[in-house]
Amino acid sequence: MRFLFHSPFAAHQPTGTARQSGNDRTVAEGLLAASHPLVGALRGSETAFEQLVWVAAVQAAGVVLLFGDHRFGLLLASAAAVVQLALVCRLAALRARRRDLCLDLIIGGSQGMPLACLERESRRLLEPRRLERLATSVDEIVTIAARPLALHPANRPLFNVSVIRRVAPELRQIASLLRGGAPCARGVAAVEWLLTSPASPLYGPEVEPLRQALGRARYLLALRP
């Protein structure tokens, strides 16, 4: 792992990432209210990043002490590295949470809100490579479901094969719309949610909830961007 070294005075100044998160949080509080989950995720990211910079400063102090033949420096630097790793993991979890919340907002039609995180997510969803990956993932699900079911449970897919077989035409249409030119970001977000969310009916035991979700995704994909 590559560690960042800053002096305590430099760490006290907000970095670009922390400042951007703070700006987004301020705007989100005005548009969504302070109790909105996205505001909480942005606030958590801002706090964790500031803590990460301070821990890096402590680690740098430990390295300086170590080179000065103070054994306590090794303990200080090692402890800072452990905390740093924990903060990096927390930032990754908060980033995933923020992405899920942004997907919810985009699906609901709020992608035009002046939030940098929403703008980034909307651009990411409409990247040609991303569209092709989503379409390929949908095709693979249909292909796997068409094969004979594996005898060993560990080799079986996460989704219910019989459910997927019954909605295979709808899934193929979803893949076609993703490759069709200029799909609406709301629809792409709905497809990504179906593929990645643990709450997605794609991995459930019932056909109708999945059919309804696919119908909504098809409708949103066909909207004018």
Same domain, 48 and 115: yes
Same domain, 208 and 133: yes
Same domain, 216 and 188: yes
Same domain, 62 and 140: no
Provide the angle, in degrees to the nearest 10, between the axes of the packed helices 16-32 and 37-67. Answer: 160
Same domain, 39 and 117: yes
pLDDT (0 to 100) of residue 135: 95
**pLDDT bracket for residue 21 (50, 70, 90):** low
Same domain, 115 and 138: no
Same domain, 212 and 135: yes
pLDDT (0 to 100) of residue 95: 83
pLDDT tens sequence across 84-115: 788 788 888 888 888 888 888 899 887 778 88
pTM for the predicted model, two decimal places: 0.71
- 3 lies in some domain: no
End of a domain among 121, 147, 175?
121
State the residue range of the domain holding 138.
126-221
Of the chain, the percentage scoring pLDDT greater than 70 comes to: 83
pLDDT (0 to 100) of residue 97: 84
Rounded CA-CA distance 129/117 in Å is: 20
Q: What is the mean pLDDT of the chain?
A: 80
pLDDT (0 to 100) of residue 20: 52
Same domain, 98 and 51: yes
Same domain, 176 and 81: no
73 or 113, higher pLDDT: 113
pLDDT tens sequence across 25-62: 777 777 777 778 778 788 888 888 887 888 787 777 77
Structure tokens at 215: 């119908």
* 64 burial via Cβ count (<10 Å: 0-12, 13-18, 19+): middle
- 93 lies in some domain: yes
DSSP letter at 204 equals S
Same domain, 138 and 206: yes
pLDDT (0 to 100) of residue 101: 87
Same domain, 108 and 158: no
Cβ atoms of 110 and 118 closer than 8 Å:
yes
Q: Which residue has the tokens 């390295």?
A: 63
pLDDT tens sequence across 152-185: 666 667 888 899 999 999 999 999 999 987 889 9
Same domain, 112 and 139: no
Cβ atoms of 188 and 148 closer than 8 Å:
no
- 180 lies in some domain: yes
